Structure formats: C-alpha cells, structure tokens
Chains A and B, each alone.
Chain A
Amino acid sequence: MSHLRVEDLWRYLDGELTVTEAAEVQTHTMRCPMCAERLEHTRQLAARLETALRAAVPAPRATFHDDVVGALHRGPREHAPERRWRWKATGAAAAAVVVAAGAGWTLAERGWVPGGGAGSRQGDQSVAVRNAPSADNLVEVGAGTGTSSGVTVQNLVNQPLSSRATQLPLLAKAASAVVAGSAEVTVDTASGAPLAGVHVVLIAGGRILHTLVTNAAGQTPRTNLQLAVDPALAPILSGAEASLSPQGDLVVVVWRTGYRPIVAYDVGVFGNGDGTFTQTFTMQVGAPGETPERVGYGFDTGPYSSYHVLAGQALAAWAASLAPGSGTSVQSRRPASDTQGGLSIHVQDPSGRPVSGASVRILAGVHVSQLQTTDANGNTATIQTPGIGDWRFSGPWNVAGPPEVATVIVWKDGYAPAVGYDEPVRAGGTRTLTVQLEPIRWRQSHGWDNNLGAASDIAGTRLPSPEDAARFVQWAQSQS
C-alpha cells in the first residue's frame, strides 16, 4: 500500500480534494496508522501556523473602527498623504463632457488633425496621426438600450451570453468624441517634500498639449484639457447612458535636471465623470540620461487592474448578439486602417486544455470580423483584420502613424468572456494569440466572490518599452 503524499494531506485539509478523493484519504488513514499520524501532524501544524501568525498581530485600539469611519467622511485633502500614491484621486464634480455634436465635435477635429492648432502651444510639432477622428464617422447609433451604472455581472452568469445584450449598454447613442476636464499634477521627492521647477509635459494623440512647470508647492496650474476618447473604447461609450463615462488617453512626461524622468501612460482620464484629473509623482534622484521610470494604469495584469471590465462585458455581449456568419460593419468614430494583418486565436482553459466551440470576433473601428469558432484543438483559422491607431504611443518618431491594434473578443457560454483591447496587428503578418477562458465554476471554486462573469483581460503586462519612454522624454525636453 503506497502512502499518502504530504501535498495530498494539505489539499485534504484545505478542502481542495473532490468528494471522491477526500473519501479515499479518509479510508486510507483509517487503515494506515502512519498516514493517520501524518495527517494529524499536518493538521496540528496548520493550527500552529495560524495561531502563531494571528498572535503576533496587535489588537486594534478601541476606537479604531470609529476612527476609520470618521476619516472616510473627511475630504481627501484632509488626509492628504504624506505618503501619496501615484495615482489619481478624483473629486465629485459634474462631468465636463463635450458631446458629439456641434461645437464639441468641431473641437475634436481641430484638435486632432495633423497640424491643427487650436488650443495647442505646439501645433506645428504635431505629427501625422492616422485614424484621427473624422466627422464622417460620427453617426448616431441606435443599437444601445442603455442601462444604469449599476450593472451587476454576477447576476447574469446563468444566462446565455447573447441574451445579455439587451441588458447592457452597447453601441453608443451620440457618444462623445471628446472628453474635457482639468488636470493638475503634483511632484514631490522621496522624502515627501514638494519639488518646484519640474517640467510637466502633457501629450496626447501625437501632440504636445501643454508644457507646465511646478511651483513652490510642487504643483502645476490646473489646466484645461480636451482629449479624444479612448479609440479602443470609442464604439461602446454612450455618454450618460453608459456604464463607462467617456475617457481619454494621456501621456505625462515629468522631468527635471538631477532627477530620474517619469513617463506616465494614462488611460481612463476623466473616466470617473468628474471632469478632473489629478496625479502625484514622486521623483527619485538620478543621473542624466537615466532610463525613465514608466508608470501606466491599464498595463498591469489582473482582472481589476486591466481596464474596463464592464466594457469587456458589454463588448462580449454585443459580439454574441451579432448574427453569425459573415463579417459586419458597425458605426464607429474610428475608421479602420486600410492594411490587413492576420490573427490566429488559440483558446484554452486555466489548466491549459483547449476550449473548443468558443466564438471569436475581432473589432477594429467600423470593421467587425467574421464569426470564428475554435476547433477541437482550441484554434481558429487565421482572421484577417485591419487595425486602429494606438495613440498612447504617438510621437514624432512614429511618422507613419501609431502602432495599430484591434480588439479581440472571445466568449462561450458557461465561461467568462475574454477581451483584449489593444492587440497589435501587423500589416501583412500573422500572429498567434493565446486566450484563456475561465469557466464560471472554476472562478467560483477559486474564490471569486463577485462579478463572476466579468471579462478577463487577454493581454498580460504590456508596459511600454524603455525606448518608447525615452523618446517621449527627449521630445518633451526639446519642447520645454
């Protein structure tokens, strides 16, 4: 009789074995005194570990909970952090959204076409940006039914994905082309002291929008900004009706002689609908020419730090609701490029087993690819798709336009869908993309306690390269 492995004993105690496997452990330990003793030792060790770790933690002061609740009621500035996080804190003002009609749209055009100068100090420095918004693409789309912001994905997981289309905000009704608001940047040192004389350069869509300098308090003046909405999200943003507020992309370059420069690739700017964007940077002392520090919201892995779970859910539901068969065309303010690249999708579950029968569509601007289904090996045929420009990486060095990307949507009933917003498309090339689809039951068994049907982010970490960040710094320095 072979003995039980220690790992199996732990899995038994952790409740990770199936009913059958657990019964086998119980039967075995009844017959095998050695394994019964091991199991008891393991159980004791688990208890001792917990006790030791718990005993070390000091009890909270009696008023702790009340203190926390009191702190929550105070405004952000009152607990302003000597230890601030880099990311934005937002207020609660109304959104200053420029809607897609009339003057707002005109602003969008003037602000984003090559060489357009309104509101930009550096108009002549702008570069040719392909896929810039065009009024020709501004068409009111009526497919969206609209819903309140309180979409609870968990409650929908037992329904076929396609039936959710009527319950989620989909294509935009009069989606905003531009999102506007004000930005303020604060810079301090590692010791928390405000840093004056720091150059802060705001860049979007291949244009330098503002060059600012921090004052004695380490702050830039609050500056009004107009940003084009995130091109990957543009088709599903629908103003007040959507679960997502219109939001833009912004690159912030922070530099001062003697300090390591910082390049922040921001997404979701003004996305909280309050029309303000504040950001704090902590600069480290550094040598000239040191590789810039890169920070980027939306580049991390993980279901919450990938951006826009709700957008993913809406996209997947929308894709599932399309009639099967040939490719289709949707109305979008983002034209697709005229080049085509190939994407071959491999779908697997968290154990690495291929998932057959999964549906795949690729969205790029107005173009939606033909519906593809994975075969027994989890593979699709190569899907040809155009791309849209990823403006986060636009600068004078991308003279032919920014890198092109497309949105990949994968879904199957019983699984959480997966969405990749910015999957690179190489003109004339073919790329294989592996997508993990997580079964709802798998998520339940792995501790998910809400939003079981939330879309996974297909791509892993995709922080821009140090070279890209260095180019932004050089560009900013040349214009400051």
Chain B
Amino acid sequence: MRCPAGMCQERFCEFGCLREYEGLVRNLVYHITHNPNDVDDLTQEILVKAYQSRNAFRGGNFRAYLCRIARNHCYDALRKRRLRSEVTLEDAAVEQWAVSAETPETVALADESTREVYALLTELGETDREILVMRHLNDMSYQEIAEVMGMQAGAVRTRVSRARQKVQELLERRAAR
C-alpha cells in the first residue's frame, strides 16, 4: 500500500510493515495508561487512527509522528475513561509481576533486580518516565523524543540525564542500607 502523500515510503503498510510500529506504540501506551487490559485496544485504535490520517503526515520522522499520535490518544482516553482511577501504577506493576513469579528461579532473581528498578521508576514524574520509555525501550533519538513531547532536544537530553541520575542515586541509596 503506497502512502498517497508519497512521504512514508511504504513504511506504514497494512500488509506487514505496520508490525514494525506495533511494539513502539504498545510500549508507550502501557507506560502512559498503566492498564494492561486496555493496551491492545488503545494500540489498535492508535494504529488505525494513524493509518486513516496518513495524509496528514507531512514528512519528517514517522516514528515521532506516530508516538505523538499515541501519546495524545492515550491522554485523551485517560481523560475520558479516567483510567488512572481504575488502576494505579503500583497495582499494575503487581499484576504484571504476579505472572513473572512463576518463572524459574534464575529468572525470578533477575526479576527481583528488575522489579527494584521498576519500582524506582515509579518515583519519577510521568514526563520523565515517558521520555525514558522512548529513549531506553523504543530506542528513539533525543530529536525524535523532542518532536513527540514538543520540547527542545536539549531539554530532553537534560531530562534523560537527570532521570537516569536519580534512578542511579536511589539505587545506590538502597544498596547502602
């Protein structure tokens, strides 16, 4: 399927290329809404919306464009559904980790360390957490993140740096106890 604007270079293709972006969107959706029950539906809605409005894509970075749609859609959904009142970040984390508790011991040990980091991430502000998701999970550049968040790339870099530093300090503080 060729993008009618000729801008996407067939990257946003319903016959397979779309798969490339599913994870990108899913990661952001979950870490904004924290509701595992809604992730599939919201991700689907976002991909459909992006597909239907593909003529509005005016060039630039498509991943950033898609993430911006995803972010706006999630906040729109949160406003309308008040997801945050249904599931808190902590609850969601517990729900997830309950599943991983069934894994072998080695994995469980790794999970314990990972769970600690995840718990520390909950102490960051929402914006910082979203930025870290895009940086560490979606492997996005500072410029891409800046386009999603409507910030300057330098501001994103500073936020990433501070967020990492905070997590590191919290980890060191816990280790020292």
Contacts and interface: CB of A to CB of B under 8 A. Distances in A.
B136 interface: yes
B62 A58 contact: no
Given A152-B9, A450-B8, A451-B7, A53 B165 contact: no
Interface string A32-74: 0000000001100110111111111110110011011101110
Given A10-B161, A55-B100, A68 B44 contact: yes
A154 B164 CA distance: 35
B11 interface: yes
A81 interface: yes
Contacts of B150: 300-302
Given A45-B164, A87-B56, A447 B140 contact: yes
A90 interface: yes
Interface in A383-406: none
B161 to A, nearest CB: 6
A58 B96 contact: yes
Interface centre among A6, A57, A191 (most CB of B within 10 A): A57
B137 to A, nearest CB: 5
Contacts of B100: 55
Interface string B10-46: 0100110011001000110011000010011001110
Contacts of A454: 58-60
Interface residues of A, number: 68
A154 B176 CA distance: 53
Interface in A297-342: 300-310
Contacts of B9: 152, 154, 450
Contacts of B72: 85
Contacts of B132: 49, 53
Interface string A355-387: 000000000000000000000000000000000
Interface in A244-287: 272
B74 to A, nearest CB: 10
A405 to B, nearest CB: 20
Contacts of B36: 58
A51 B111 CA distance: 9
B117 A48 contact: yes
B49 A85 contact: yes
B77 A83 contact: yes
B30 A56 contact: yes
A68 B59 contact: no
Contact of B137 (A53, A61, A154, A190): A53
Nearest to A14: B135
Interface in A450-468: 450-451, 454
A51 B142 contact: no
B137 A10 contact: no
A137 interface: no
B22 A447 contact: no
Contact of A87 (B53, B80, B111): B53
Nearest to A51: B114
B103 to A, nearest CB: 10
Contact of B47 (A42, A68, A191, A304): A68
Nearest to A450: B9
Contacts of B39: 57-58, 60
A73 B161 CA distance: 43
B5 interface: yes
Contacts of B26: 57, 60
A449 interface: yes
A451 B6 CA distance: 10
A307 B48 CA distance: 22
Nearest to A307: B58
A76 interface: yes
Interface in A189-242: 190-192
B89 to A, nearest CB: 10
B32 to A, nearest CB: 11
A243 interface: yes
B80 A83 contact: yes
Interface in B104-130: 110-111, 113-115, 117-118, 121
A7 interface: yes
Contact of B61 (A57, A65, A447): A447
A3 interface: no
B167 interface: yes
B31 A57 contact: yes
A425 B58 CA distance: 26
B121 A69 contact: no
B79 interface: yes
Interface centre among B59, B93, B96, B171 (most CB of A within 10 A): B59
A53 B52 contact: no
Contacts of A150: 2, 6
A154 B61 CA distance: 12
B107 to A, nearest CB: 10
Contact of A57 (B30, B63, B73, B80): B30
B58 A53 contact: no
Interface centre among A69, A71, A303, A447 (most CB of B within 10 A): A447
11 contacts: A49-B117, A49-B132, A55-B96, A55-B114, A68-B47, A150-B2, A150-B6, A191-B80, A304-B56, A446-B144, A447-B63
Given A45-B164, A49-B136, 10 more contacts: A60-B22, A68-B43, A68-B48, A90-B55, A149-B4, A303-B60, A304-B58, A304-B147, A310-B58, A451-B59
The 10 closest A-B pairs by CB, nearest first: A447-B141, A303-B60, A150-B6, A446-B143, A451-B59, A309-B59, A52-B118, A454-B59, A52-B117, A304-B60
